[in-house]
Structure 1
Amino acid sequence: MAGDKVLEFTDNNFEAEVLKSSQPVLVDFWATWCAPCKAIAPVVDELAGVYDGRVKIGKVNVDENQATPGQYGVRGIPTLILFKDGQVVDQLVGAVPRSQLEALLEKAL
């Protein structure tokens, strides 16, 4: 469900890939059965290409990785959380328009 620029984050690699990243990281918490997640996926894939080298973009499957979403209070999906220097900068919930995602990413740059 992800393009070649979209990374896969898990409970096991989240700290190394997200919290210790030198770049800002956008994390898309999703599930295979989630229709809004599928609706926003092409936009996330596209932005991963546009922001390649400036922002790391990846996904966490909430069914396969339950510790991380729980740690960040993810209650509804898709939830997109922007991290910078290991801290939460901002988050969006739902299949938001591309312009909202771009505004979120620009906050970290």
Structure 2
Amino acid sequence: MFISNAYANAAAGTPQSGGTMELIFMLVIFGLIFYFMIYRPQAKRVKEHKNLMSALGKGDEVLTSGGILGKIAKFGADSDYVVLSLNDSTQITIKKDYITAVLPKGSIQSL
């Protein structure tokens, strides 16, 4: 009532609809960059690690993320933990998630 509406005039030479299309185009480009450089490689690594975890079995020689080499002594499919045998008298319990690689048979003996 007491304040009148102020309308801004468009600046000369600047298209109004072009800014919206450029913004949408940049958002699509950023989305594609995010997908191909961040999400897709990470999803691929997670899938490979899940396949590795499902292929584990008793007697496999493994490498942990801490650099420990051992042979799986006890393995439960329903448990999140694995018992590794480091030598004849030493065993440790670790989470399955910390296993990074399955080594070929006889790798520990060759060291």
TM range (shorter): under 0.3
Larger Rg: 2
TM-score (norm 1): 0.24
Of structures 1 and 2, the one with the larger relative CO (CA 8 A, separation 6+) is 1
TM-score, normalised to structure 2, is 0.24
Q: Which one has the bigger helix percentage?
A: 2
